[in-house]
Amino acid sequence: MVKVAAADASFLEALPDGSVEMPVPTHPHFEVWQYLESVCDPEIPVLSLREIGVLRAVRQQPQGWQIVITPTYNGCPALEQMQDDVRHCMTQKGLQAEVITCLSPAWSSDWITSQAKAKLLAYGIAPPHTKPANLTPKRIRLVQKIAPMQVVCPQCGSDNTTETSHFGSTACKAMYKCLACMEPFDYFKPY
Ligand SMILES: [Zn+2]
């Protein structure tokens, strides 16, 4: 695993703080972005690494391509598989690529595109809520007391749901149960 050293500040500065849009077809790296669009999140096969906000940058260097990814959280068990999948995708197209893991800025579930959130819902996973902005921890507690964030059932749309386990099939999801249709489902926790 290659980590970006602090000395590479200029490299980091160029990274967007948020999800990355697919470049326009006239973009010089469009084809590579298109290839990488086939690389999906190992835990959520309906989302590409770009859609979930993991794919950060594609750079052409004299020695080959550099693909920058940011794991969904530090210590994500799927990280190695994502690195392998990216390298495999590039190799298949005959391209030499180095995968660089960048931990700063840290990934946020707010980076998941709205299109990707709709796909999550269709796949049966309740998408993460957008994190409240500019609130101190004290005020967040207060807000949650007044209006707890309702997780809507991806099966029937009811908000009559309850958390059954804070850690679901993976650490980034919680297990919920819908009290209307009685179906269990995963909730992608805001992070
Ligand atoms: Zn339901």
What's the gap in Å between 146 CA and the centre of ligand 1?
24
Percent of the chain past pLDDT 90, that is, above it, reads 58
For residue 4, pLDDT beyond 80: no
Rounded to the nearest angstrom, the distance between the alpha carbon of 158 and the centre of ligand 1 is 5
Ligand 1 centroid, distance to 179 Cα (angstroms): 7
Q: Which of 41, 91, 30, 27 is nearest to 69 (CA)?
A: 41
Q: Residue 93 C-alpha to ligand 1 middle, in angstroms?
A: 43
Task: For residue 113, report the distance from its CA to the centre of ligand 1, in Å.
Answer: 24
Question: Which of 76 and 9 is assigned the larger pLDDT?
Answer: 76
Instruction: Name the least confident of 26-30, 132-136, 177-181, 186-190.
Output: 132-136
CA of 185 to the centre of ligand 1 (A): 9
Give the angle 165-171-173 at the CA atoms, nearest 5°.
60
CB-facing half-sphere around the CA of 36: CA atoms within 13 A:
33
Q: For residue 161, how far is its CA from the centre of ligand 1 (angstroms)?
A: 8
Lowest mean pLDDT among 58-67, 118-127, 138-147, 163-172: 138-147
Over residues 45-101, the pLDDT tens digits come to: 999 999 999 999 999 999 899 999 998 876 677 889 999 999 999 999 999 999 999
* Residue 159: band (very low, low, confident or very high) from pLDDT cuts 50, 70, 90: very high
Name the strand (E) or helix (H) holding 57: strand 55-61
Whether the Cβ atoms of residue 50 and residue 20 lie closer than 8 Å to each other: yes
What is the 132 CA–ligand 1 centroid distance (Å)?
A: 26
Looking at the predicted structure, is the pLDDT value of residue 180 above 70? yes
Which domains does the chain show, CATH number per domain?
A: 2-110 (3.30.300.130), 124-188 (no CATH)
Q: What separation in Å is there between the alpha carbon of 92 and the centre of ligand 1?
A: 42
Kindly list the distances between the CA atom of residue 112 and the CA atoms of 3, 20, 21, 32, 168, in Å, as whole numbers in the listed order. Answer: 23, 9, 11, 21, 19
Report pLDDT for 136.
47
* CA of residue 110 to ligand 1 center, whole Å: 24
Encode pLDDT of 20-47 as tens digits. Answer: 888 899 999 999 999 999 999 988 899 9
Listing DSSP states for 129-176 in one string gives PPPPSS--HHHHHHHHHHSPPPPPPTTT----EEEEESS-SSTTEEEE
Whole-number mean pLDDT of the chain?
84
Which candidate, 104, 66, 64, 69, places its Cα nearest to that of 83?
69
CA distance linking residue 91 with residue 28, whole number of Å: 19
Tell me the C-alpha distance between 162 and 7, whole Å.
Answer: 47
